[in-house]
Homo-oligomer: A and B are copies of this chain.
Amino acid sequence: MELAEAKQKFIEAWGKLGSEWGINRTMAQVHALLLISPEALTTEQVMEQLQISRGNANMTLRDLINWGLVEKQHRSGERKEYFFAEKDVWTIARQVAKERKRRELEPVLKLLGQLQEVQGDEQDPEYQTFKTSVTDINKLASNVDKTLETMLKAEENWFFGSIFKLFK
């Protein structure tokens, strides 16, 4: 396979995977493009390579920066902004985990905690089943949360630090 074709396929696949996991297709594609670019790219270059509009490119790049996956670069003597993606996959994975934990897991945990306080008749099967399900999900979600917390602090921890090096 030629490089040009491989790049194309990689970008498409990354976009598809993103959309299957609730991440905007274009955002995933821009990320893919930057991932495989040795140099930082300008908005113009992203627009051209992916055939997207200026507005879309601008918003998508901003989102990627908010996700902590891309950073702006400035070059002396130039007005244009350049965009560069973090290339270490483990750092990327940690970053994504961190953001999704914060944006999605934590709000759910908060609600589950409240729902566990529901009042009702202990003899009512409706009540019993509700309470059991919510409690069980809360337990699992808390464990996932704690596990992620540990993972995210892995670098600071000799034990997991060494385990996670195996994944690198």
Contacts and interface: CB of A to CB of B under 8 A. Distances in A.
Nearest to A35: B133
A160 interface: no
Interface residues on A, range: 35 or more
A114 interface: yes
How many monomers of this chain does the complex have?
Answer: 2
B3 A126 contact: yes
Interface string A75-109: 00000000000011110010000000001100010
Contacts of A128: 38
A126 B139 CA distance: 47
Nearest to A118: B6
B126 A1 contact: no
Interface string A14-25: 000101111000
